[in-house]
Structure 1
Amino acid sequence: MQAIAGFSWWAAVFLSPVVREATLGNLGPVAVAVFDIPLFVMASAIAAFGVKAAAVVSTAWTGIVAVALAGYATVTTEAGWGVLGMGAATVGSLIALCLVLLGRVPTAWIIRGPFAFRPAIPRPTAATHVVSTFGQIVLFWGFFLAVIPFTVAFLEQRWAVALPFPSFAPPVGVTVLVLASALGISAAVAMSTLGDGTPLPSAMPNHLVIAGPYRWIRNPMAAAGILQGAAVGVILQSWLVVAYAVVGSLVWNYVVRPLEESDLEERFGEEFRQYRDAVRCWVPRVWRTRSHKR
């Protein structure tokens, strides 16, 4: 698929001045094609037959071109759409490389080291966990909802790939951001006060929390984070920030959530299985229990 997409793009570059200018700016297409066609298009095609060396070459070249093109676009404000295309190709190349070399995408690697799932050290009072949780909120929200979105929005403008938003978008975004933040804070408070732990993977709750927002959906903090990211994108009128939130939701749902729920099932057994069967992940549903925590 990558080889076909690369071949199609190069055909469009030579046939359409619009595509050439949007993806390469003032770079000479022939000079770029001399390297990119054999190292990207042809190498991707050869890698499709399981040739490991070709997969390594294609991935390395794609990453180099993506970084170089991003630098060029940031300086010149040209070839912004080319940066996005090569960025997507880099992600695809990395996934393909894992499949060729390992036969799978090693998603479990993300929960190693400081991100490994470990229960928090029990505390005599919940105050310590509450303080730690709010410290985490400040740190993570500041990075994922401010630093990254503002950087992405700046690059979006610099690369000239911005798209128009309706005038009512910012007020709607502010409303969603406030509501989502309230959901995230209430979930964090419930986890730290009732779970004897924090939302951080390395200091997870020691009790299964089924109170507060956890009565309605299994992952209210994740839902809040996704909505917050999308809301910030709408406020900044940045479709790339909205896309960043959507991609984050997909990664969380298909990569992080299965690992997290496997850990919860291992630690809490039948109690978690009953909770999982009774409460949906995304769509709220009423679930009654006699206890606030276990």
Structure 2
Amino acid sequence: MRSRAAAAGSALFFALAPGTVAGLAPWALTGWDAGAAPIAVRWLGAILVVAGAAVLLQAFARFVREGLGTPAPVAPTAHLVVGGLYRYVRNPMYLAVVATILGQALLLWRPVLVAYAAVVAATTAAFVRGYEEPTLRRQFGGDYDAYRAAVPGWWPRRTPWPGSTGS
């Protein structure tokens, strides 16, 4: 039953958080009006949008399956999520959101989205440092400390962290 509640909560949070930050806000800034971008730039943008969305979906599913919770601070996981893409980088969701926004900037050829992506990245980094890392340290103690020491926050490892439990 916990996994059903986690799935429902994660779906709701997916719509609210990434849906707003990487969907609603970029639309409000651009109206999805595209500039005259070279086709290669548009393709690169589309690839970033699709890759960002795929990473987000995988990460949210990982929170449900492995963590038995959600990414939302009000309904956290019961277990530290360290499998999948989390074996390479601690913050794949945040990176995926910024990649999606940068992809939209290229796809639509709208510089305002590059500036917006920078604001999202800075805000996210401050949230991670000020709230998320201390909260995870309190919740998971030494397990989180070992994970944090082995897996970078923002630049992926070349090889998966061998201390992870999930694939």
Q: Structure 1 length as normaliser, TM-score?
A: 0.51
Q: Residue 264 in 1 paired to residue 136 in 2?
A: yes
Task: Go from structure 1 to structure 2 and tell me whether the alpha carbon gap of 1:212 and 1:241 turns closer, same or farther (over 3 Å shift).
Answer: same
Q: What is the aligned partner in structure 2 of residue 79 from structure 1?
A: none
Q: Residue 291 in 1 paired to residue 165 in 2?
A: yes
Q: What is the aligned partner in structure 2 of residue 221 from structure 1?
A: 93
5+ residue gaps, structure 1: 1-123
**1:128 Cα deviation from its structure 2 partner:** 2.0
Within 5 A, what are the aligned runs for 1:223-242?
223-242=95-114
Higher relative contact order structure (alpha carbons within 8 Å, sequence separation ≥ 6): 2
**1:290 Cα deviation from its structure 2 partner:** 6.0
Q: Residue 131 in 1 paired to residue 3 in 2?
A: no
Paired with 1:225 and 1:205, the residues of 2 have a C-alpha distance of 20
Q: Residue 29 of structure 2: which of 131, 152, 166 is its match?
A: 152
Structure number with the higher helix fraction is 1
Q: In terms of mean alpha carbon deviation, does 145-154 or 262-271 score higher? A: 145-154
Partner AA of 1:257 in structure 2: V
5+ residue gaps, structure 2: none
Partner AA of 1:288 in structure 2: P
Q: What is the aligned partner in structure 2 of residue 180 from structure 1?
A: 52
Task: Go from structure 1 to structure 2 and tell me whether the alpha carbon gap of 1:176 and 1:290 turns closer, same or farther (over 3 Å shift).
Answer: closer
CA contact (8 A) 2:82 2:164 kept: no
| SS of residue paired to 1:205 | coil
Within 5 A, what are the aligned runs for 1:6-21?
none
Paired with 1:243 and 1:280, the residues of 2 have a C-alpha distance of 25
Partner AA of 1:135 in structure 2: L
Q: Residue 17 of structure 2: which of 136, 140, 145 is its match?
A: 140
**1:165 Cα deviation from its structure 2 partner:** 4.0
Paired with 1:251 and 1:194, the residues of 2 have a C-alpha distance of 27
Q: Determine which structure has more spread, i.e. the larger CA radius of gyration.
A: 1
Aligned pair count reads: 163
| SS of residue paired to 1:168 | helix
Partner AA of 2:20 in structure 1: F
Identity %: 28
| SS of residue paired to 1:195 | coil
CA contact (8 A) 1:230 1:246 kept: no
RMSD: 2.2
Paired with 1:180 and 1:190, the residues of 2 have a C-alpha distance of 15
Task: Go from structure 1 to structure 2 and tell me whether the alpha carbon gap of 1:163 and 1:290 turns closer, same or farther (over 3 Å shift).
Answer: closer
Paired with 1:290 and 1:240, the residues of 2 have a C-alpha distance of 39
